[in-house]
Amino acid sequence: MSMDGRGTSALDRLRARYDQEARVCPECGFEDEAGSWRVQTTGSRVYYRHLCPSCGSRSTRVLRLGGSRDDE
Ligand SMILES: [Zn+2]
């Protein structure tokens, strides 16, 4: 058992993964190194939104909480 990764929830890992994906726009291929997802939580759903600074393409993803949590 390792002692690292304390307090890392499934949501944190998902957010980190989306942060990486957001760096490359699926529309124009622009690499947005400084970009990040805007996160909005509404009840049991989490909305991730990203706006490409190059072409203005918007990406939206929706996560449903309680689906595949493996924390605790
Ligand atoms: Zn783009």
pLDDT digits (tens, 9 = 90+) for 38-62: 889 998 998 888 889 999 998 888 8
36: CA distance to ligand 1 center in Å? 14
18: CA distance to ligand 1 center in Å? 16
Closest CA to 12 of 33, 35, 39, 32: 39
Element (H, E) at 7: none
φ/ψ of 56, rounded to 5, equals 80, 10
pLDDT digits (tens, 9 = 90+) for 2-36: 555 567 788 788 777 766 665 788 889 998 888 77
- Structural domains of the chain in order of their starting residue, each with its CATH number: 10-64 (2.20.25)
31: CA distance to ligand 1 center in Å? 8
Q: To the nearest 10°, the Cα dihedral for 52, 49, 26, 36?
A: 60
**Predicted pLDDT at 22:** 57
5: burial class by Cβ within 10 Å (0-12, 13-18, 19+)? exposed
